[in-house]
Amino acid sequence: MKQNGKSVYSGIAIGPCRVFGNKDQMVKRIKIEDAQGEIKRFLQAKEQAKSQLAALYDKALNEVGQAHAMIFDVHQMMLDDLDYVESVTNMITAQKINAEFAVATTGDNFAEMFAAMDDDYMRERAADVKDISNRVIRILQGNDTAGELGDQPVILLADDLAPSETVQLDKSKVLSFVTRRGSTNSHTAILARTMNIPALIGIDFSEEADGRMAIVDGQSGVFILDPTEEELSYYRKLQEKERDQARLLQELKGKENVTKGGKKIQLYANIGGVGDVAAVMANDAGGIGLFRSEFLYLETQDYPTEEQQFKAYRTVAENMAGKKVIIRTLDIGADKQVDYFGLEHEENPAMGYRAIRICLDRREVFRTQLRAIYRASYYGNIAIMFPMIISVDEVRQAKELCHQVQQELQQEGIPYQQVELGVMIETPAAVMISDLLAKEVDFFSVGTNDLTQYTLAIDRQNPKLDSIYDAHHPAILRMLQMVIDNGHKEGCWIGICGELGADTTLTDTFLQMGIDELSVSPSMILKVREQIRNSSATA
């Protein structure tokens, strides 16, 4: 049986299926006599759950970075929430019921409450409260084996996967992720890309698939249950070809990013936090072309201090040992909401109060970040990039703040280095005035995700529009050429840090157009290097 889904990460997996339970625990209501004893059982299970979550935080920190590990800190805090704890204990006392049923009911009630809220961040907490409740119930039932997969590597099938479930998994036993729901930006998708394994979403499987053989084609988004011998033979050959290509790619480590025609290009990596630097180095990137600094804000319960930010930026700069690290200043808003910012609900947040607009409005927040970046610049090769620019005036205001921060640090005797300043080209306005912007900065980095969205008037979060969302659209390529030409006239170097930069079908085109730098996810570095070295573009 063959189904088409949406590919999250390419590659081929062949093996038995394991239907993984992201299910609510089956809980019976049982009358009890000793309410205090039952409350004690609940509190002990809660503490055991917190210990597990603390261990999961450490595990996630090593495997997927701090930004994605912080969810387990949030879960620990939710377990200690007074309203949550009192709801469970009051239910046990008043109704004389077992702890499992009280936890399950409380979890359902709180999840419904969160789901009904008119706030995206709070609605997302509905899944979290169900997750922590299921964890406590498993402990109470003595059935705490959520992350066990058995001895044989499997294709993991799930309705969706909670962060706590994906991190508990024995990664050596996972051949592929296949889910009914989820998005290309989900935790599962991020983990699949980090693990370099194929993954699909939008596949409607039944529980009866458990134990049956399947094929996942992450390249074309195909899932085949009970494949024929002919299909198995065909995909095994493709799989072996993939392995050969992966071995060949490893030979490209340490090689230059230079075309057959002698054109050199910088090949950098995109990261979300300190934990991603290991992948950058393992894949031999020449630097970091996009450090998404907003993850430092997303993973805290309050504004990160200057010291917290300085430590993160300094650590990355030192680890990169003189290689360039381009830090994008705070790009919050739109699909990246932070509760403590107190941002009002917007009908169209993608075009609303976000990124540089917030920074120039809340200058103390911006100044704190700039101070941390300039202090860290003393310890490496840092550059600063401003997002969501639509005018020369915005750039000049940002530059003036940078100048003020440098003066402050000088007066305080705090060392810093001069840094390159650049802007993200991700609006049609920035493209059309790129000749003027180029006079103000040292470099441009084209954010093709938003540029495509704004140019084509297509919400990239809307799955109904996937079929017409076309980053190869002639308008996008013409805009890119305009930006390159205008930037070069003023001595700016030009890079791409959006998803299009990793599109190897366009690598040669970018080189012919005159692009100077590509910044891609760490796992794509060697694939893009291969395309560069096979290009005939001339210097």
Percent share of the chain, pLDDT over 70: 89
Q: Do domains 2-20+149-238 and 261-534 have the same CATH topology?
A: no
Q: Report the chain's C-alpha Rg in angstroms.
A: 25
Q: Which of 17, 75, 187, 402 is catalytic?
A: 187
Concerning whether 187 is annotated as a catalytic residue, the answer is yes
Task: Name, in order, each residue with C-beta under 8 angstroms of 220's C-beta and a sequence gap of 6 or more.
Answer: 7
Q: Which of 17, 359, 402, 497 is catalytic?
A: 497
User: CATH classification of 35-141 is 3.90.1150.10, yes or no?
Assistant: no
pLDDT at 11: 87
Percent share of the chain, pLDDT over 90: 53
pLDDT tens per residue across span 277-321: 888 888 899 999 999 998 888 767 788 899 999 999 999 999 999
Domain 261-534's class? Answer: alpha beta
How far is C-alpha 41 from the chain's CA centre?
38
Measured between its terminal Cα atoms, the distance across the chain in Å is: 50
Distance CA 243, CA 237 (A): 10
Contact (Cβ atoms closer than 8 angstroms) between residue 388 and residue 330: no
Q: What percent of the chain is helix, strand and coil (3-state, nearest 5)?
A: 50, 15, 30
Q: What pTM was estimated for this model as a whole?
A: 0.66
At CA 324, angle to CA 320 and CA 325, rounded to 5? 75
The average pLDDT across 21-47 equals: 85
pLDDT at 167: 58
pLDDT at 337: 66
Concerning whether 359 is annotated as a catalytic residue, the answer is no
Q: Residue 479: which pLDDT band, with cuts at 50, 70 and 90?
A: very high
Distance CA 496, CA 478 (A): 14
Q: Residue 385: which pLDDT band, with cuts at 50, 70 and 90?
A: very high
The domain segmentation of the chain, as residue ranges, is 2-20+149-238, 35-141, 261-534
Contact (Cβ atoms closer than 8 angstroms) between residue 532 and residue 511: yes
The average pLDDT across 352-370 equals: 92
Domain 2-20+149-238's class? Answer: alpha beta
Lowest model confidence (mean pLDDT) among 9-18, 374-383, 413-422, 435-444: 9-18
Of 35 and 123, more confident: 35
